[in-house]
Structure 1
Amino acid sequence: METTKSTSYKLVSRIKDSRFDVDRLHDYCLLLQIGLRDIQICVTDTRDDSCLLVEDFLLLEIKTVNSRLQALNALFENHHLLTAGFWDSVKLSLKSHKFSLVPSSHFIPDSISEYLKLNCVVNPNVEGEYYYQHKSSNVVNAFAADKRLINWVKSLYPSKDIIIMHQGSALIEAVLRQKVQGEGKGVFCILDRNVLHVFVSHNNQLHYYNQFSIKSSQEMLKYVMLVFKEFGLDQRTQPVVFWGSLSEKGEALQLLRKYIRNITLGNKPSFLKFNYMFDEIPDHHLIDLFSMHLCD
């Protein structure tokens, strides 16, 4: 695992499979997940669904939309792979709290602004309207994101039809593949730095998804318990699976387990193959990045 730092970004970790071959990029899929102050990168081999490269960067001193784009531009210019144009495919996931889930049967692309009005305020001067159609759950994720950023990414790969999605869409695909104990509902939580994503599913159908900005373990407990109350879930028996930036012995899980008995940490996804070097990544980390592999 490597760590480096520049003036505008910091490489937190990098893991590369020894089988990665720069001459075979035409067989690889490039996954880019971009947040307000971070970016994760993954390369997968489309021939055997194996993970070959994972990188996690923090973007530094981000105060405006422009400064984020400048930091990303510097990162891409200095990266030995990201400006290559001959990938098999490219997928882009945006972290955003501006989204709305709409049943496929009721979705109208020209009405995205109306759906988003229910949940957030969109600045049309900066943000564009996008959507991702889920094939497995009959739902559409409509979302707003920085249109300059998306257009910039598209300009880097002009020969590719880039798949653009909201972070929640990758997570939805992951959640709906999970086996739930017994016949009841499943509760799945992902902590991505200071954002908590909560999902409730039943019979492979999504019943609930929301995300919450949190500053403490107490706030995380509060939001999870609100979902328990809304669905009438039993704190003694209801299974909850957690992924993300928390640890088995950390304060957050210790607090949660005082109120919810059946909490486990999630596993690495079975739909990707990982060589031994990826054992450095805890099994419950980066489920959102890896699950982009499922989105076509």
Structure 2
Amino acid sequence: MDTINTHYRLSHQIEDQAFSLQQADQCNLYMALSQKAIRFAVFNSERNKFVVLEDYELITVFSPMQVGEQLRLIAQENPLLRQRWNLVRVSVSNQHFTLVPETLYDPSHQQDYLRLHSDFNPQQDTVLSYRHSGLEAMNIFALDGSTYKALQEIFPETNLQVVHLTSSLIRSILHQVPRANQRSMYAFVERNYVSLLVVGPAGLEFCNIFHYVSPEDFIYYIIFIMQEQKMDPEQETITVWGDITHDSTLFNILQRYIRQVRLGKRPADIDYSYKFNDLFEHRYFELYSLHLCE
């Protein structure tokens, strides 16, 4: 008997009228997993277009293991998770990651690299890596082993790729940001976490994820990193994506301390069903950005 309780609710759903599950072999399924949400998007490769988006809010979920449990429950009722897709690519959001130069990377020492920067549990977590060809770097990261097992069981005969959230952000931001002489900061906001990236003339210069509890924590980390990177908040522009709105407390405190705050756009060179037009362009950036990984 299944004793696992349901702790999720479908908060948003979009589906293009032309989409059918019979097209699954022509489509990619992208998933974003965090402790606050499980999100899906379907990308039709033949049409170069996003056609489906579903956002499940996780309620009273306090551990990575519970995320895997809720994913299994969603898979039992959601037909999207019972198809044979061309590709399934999943991003995992947590603080267990590190970037290592490719020239120094040895696959047999993945856990050693990660242990220097993360307090992951080697008995419980699975360690994976993703190669950033443009950066000549490896993103080494950990995710809960039971969640990884759930993904493998849900998609047993599908091309499954798991990446860290930061890899999708890096790929997408470097793809759409023109190389310029000045350095700029970019932020991806989740509930209680903010990913900060600094990009300069030579490319990526900084990337990390910070846990915040209050708006004061949130702005502290941003100002602290700006100062560490020798950036002047009174002169800089910060571009923001994610779970933030223009009338939120987080956005207001950003405007109080940083000269110009800009909400980011969806990745370019990709089409989106007209039904996506009702969404703020800076929302679901983590899902769209998965298409730019390789």
TM interval, short-chain normalised:
over 0.9
Q: Separation in 1 of the partners of 2:207 and 2:96?
A: 13
Pick from 88, 107, 110 the counterpart of residue 109 of structure 1: 107
Q: Separation in 2 of the partners of 1:65 and 1:250?
A: 27
Q: Separation in 1 of the partners of 2:97 and 2:172?
A: 18
Task: Name the counterpart of 1:290.
Answer: 288
Is the partner of 1:159 in helix, strand or coil? coil
Structure 1: state its 5+ residue gaps.
Answer: 1-5
8 Å Cα contact 2:184-2:237 kept in structure 1: yes
Q: CA deviation at 1:18?
A: 1.3
For residues 19-57 of structure 1, what are the alpha-carbon distances to aligned partners after superposition, in whole Å with 9 as ceiling and x for unaligned? 212211110001111112420101001113200111110
Is the partner of 1:23 in helix, strand or coil? helix
Task: Name the counterpart of 1:22.
Answer: 21
Q: Quick one: percent identity of the two aligned structures?
A: 23
Q: CA deviation at 1:289?
A: 1.2
Q: What amino acid does structure 2 have at the position aligned with 1:203? A: P
Q: TM-score, normalised by structure 2?
A: 0.93
8 Å Cα contact 1:8-1:74 kept in structure 2: no
Task: Name the counterpart of 1:40.
Answer: 39
Is the partner of 1:257 in helix, strand or coil? helix
Q: Separation in 1 of the partners of 2:36 and 2:242?
A: 17
8 Å Cα contact 2:13-2:53 kept in structure 1: yes
8 Å Cα contact 1:32-1:41 kept in structure 2: yes
For residues 129-278 of structure 1, the aligned pairs below 5 Å read 129-180=127-178, 182-203=180-201, 205-278=203-276
Going from structure 1 to structure 2, the CA distance change for 1:54 and 1:204 (only over 3 Å counts) comes to farther
Q: What amino acid does structure 2 have at the position aligned with 1:23? A: Q
Q: Separation in 2 of the partners of 1:235 and 1:83?
A: 48
8 Å Cα contact 1:176-1:204 kept in structure 2: no
Q: Separation in 2 of the partners of 1:33 and 1:171?
A: 12
Q: What amino acid does structure 1 have at the position aligned with 2:199? A: S
Aligned residues: 290
Task: Name the counterpart of 1:54.
Answer: 53
Is the partner of 1:188 in helix, strand or coil? strand
1:83 aligns with 2:82: yes
For residues 64-119 of structure 1, what are the alpha-carbon distances to aligned partners after superposition, in whole Å with 9 as ceiling and x for unaligned? 554333322111101122112x2111111111111111111111111111111221
Q: TM-score, normalised by structure 1?
A: 0.92
Task: Name the counterpart of 2:118.
Answer: 120
Is the partner of 1:128 in helix, strand or coil? strand
Q: Separation in 2 of the partners of 1:22 and 1:107?
A: 41
Structure 2: state its 5+ residue gaps.
Answer: none
8 Å Cα contact 1:181-1:239 kept in structure 2: no
Q: CA deviation at 1:272?
A: 2.1
Q: Separation in 2 of the partners of 1:180 and 1:262?
A: 18
Q: Separation in 1 of the partners of 2:250 and 2:58?
A: 25
For residues 232-286 of structure 1, what are the alpha-carbon distances to aligned partners after superposition, in whole Å with 9 as ceiling and x for unaligned? 1122332210111111122222222222112211011113211221122111111
Q: What amino acid does structure 2 have at the position aligned with 1:135? A: S
Q: CA deviation at 1:8?
A: 2.8
Q: Separation in 1 of the partners of 2:286 and 2:48?
A: 16
